[in-house]
Amino acid sequence: MGAIKLSTIKQTSEDKQRLEMFEQLVGIDEQKNKLLTHLEWIMRPLNTSNWLKEHHPDGLELANRIKKIPRLIILSGDVGCGKTELSNYVGTKLSQLLEDEPVFVHRAPSDLRGSGLVGDLANRMTAMFESVKSESTRGDYHILIIDEADDVSSSREGEEQHHEDRTGVNALIKEIDKLVDVSARIAVIMISNRTSSFDPAIMRRSAIEIKFHRPSKPELADILRSLCSGLKLDEKELQTLVNICANKSPRFTYSDLFNRVALPVLLNAIRNDVPFSYDKLKEALENTEPSPQFKDHGNE
């Protein structure tokens, strides 16, 4: 079995910069809370003994399954909506919830598929999980992130699926199943723009699918308020910016607003030694077209 190199970062609540970056992810509060809640359940299964005594003194079979809560979480949705960005910083916030215990965040390599030789993908998938489990000597809490996960989890029912793809998906399913019996608490976050292509068996193994979308009007207001925090905009000016964004079709993504609109305005202001201004931001919003939308998310 060939070696596989993961990108691993030890994240702790003492990393103030990462905590700040997590807090700056505005407009996705619901997704942040869902992800943290499920990660905390995976890392520290609830002690149900007192709850059972009070509410179900005769026992409740379902409660026995809490310690075997599924370890897989899926982040899905259109491009540029904060999925990868959130996964980059969630370990630091999770560490805070775990009484400052470190969380080791492992990112799968972009070449996870390998050379394409027979058996290579399955072997590399197995090696990746073994590599994460071998890190359990450094700490109890681990997150494995697989970005662009549709590349390695497509449905085995598809006619275009090759034998190599099917064996890779089989290996992924087996490794996810084995995590419930590992003493270290290991969560897997799979990120995808196209979960409609996922194998049904993978979807069934997820604790939750957290969906991301292009920002709604209230979320646009939160994002623009954050972008303009030093400009002291009045409510009318803020609403004007929100309406410009809301009238675009498709709407802007989070990354559009930060990288393609606000950042160029800021760089031009620095270059020309002038203030970052409401008028220039408004002009940029009016003249910038949102990034194209994935077909899977055309109604969002």
The model's pTM is: 0.86
Q: What is the pLDDT of residue 117?
A: 63
Q: What is the average per-residue pLDDT within 117-124?
A: 78
Q: How confident is the model at residue 3 (pLDDT cuts 50, 70, 90)?
A: low
How many Å apart are CA 27 and CA 220, to the nearest integer? 7
Q: How confident is the model at residue 152 (pLDDT cuts 50, 70, 90)?
A: confident
Of 98-107, 146-155, 169-178, 285-294, the least confident: 146-155
User: What is the spatial order of strands in the sheet that 206-212 belongs to?
Assistant: 7-11, 103-107, 141-146, 185-192, 72-77, 206-212
Percent helix, strand and coil across the chain, each to the nearest 5: 50, 15, 35
Asked whether residue 6 carries a pLDDT value surpassing 70, the answer given is: yes
How many Å apart are CA 170 and CA 166, to the nearest integer? 6
- DSSP secondary structure letter of residue 153: -
Q: What is the largest CA-CA distance in the chain?
A: 73
Of 123-132, 235-244, 278-287, the least confident: 123-132
